[in-house]
Amino acid sequence: MKIMAEIKEKINELEEKLKFSKNPEEQLRLHKFLDELKEIDVKYENEDDKIKAVEEMKRRDPNYNWNDVKQV
C-alpha cells in the first residue's frame, strides 16, 4: 500500500508545482510525468505492478526522477 500512497502524494505535488510553473518546457514535462503517474495509479491494482511501472517510467526518463518532484 505504500507505493499507492506515494503515487497519490506525487500526483498532488506535481499538480501543485504545475500551478506555479511559468516555464512551458517544464510544464510539458510535468504534465507528461503527471499523466503517466495517473495512468499507473488507475491501470494497476497490484502494488508490485505499480512499483514495476514506476521503475520503468524512471528508467525511460532519467532526466526527471522521482525525487525531483519534491522540489516544489
Q: Which residues contact 40 (CB under 8 A, 6 or more apart)?
A: 7, 50, 53, 54, 57
Distance CA 23, CA 31 (A): 12
Q: Which domain holds residue 38?
A: 2-70
pLDDT on residue 64: 60
Residue 67 predicted with pLDDT over 50: yes
Enter the pTM of the model: 0.74
Residue 65 predicted with pLDDT over 80: no
More confident residue, 57 or 70: 57
Residue 49 predicted with pLDDT over 50: yes
Residue 69 predicted with pLDDT over 70: no
pLDDT on residue 71: 41
Question: For the chain, how many structural domains are there in total?
Answer: 1
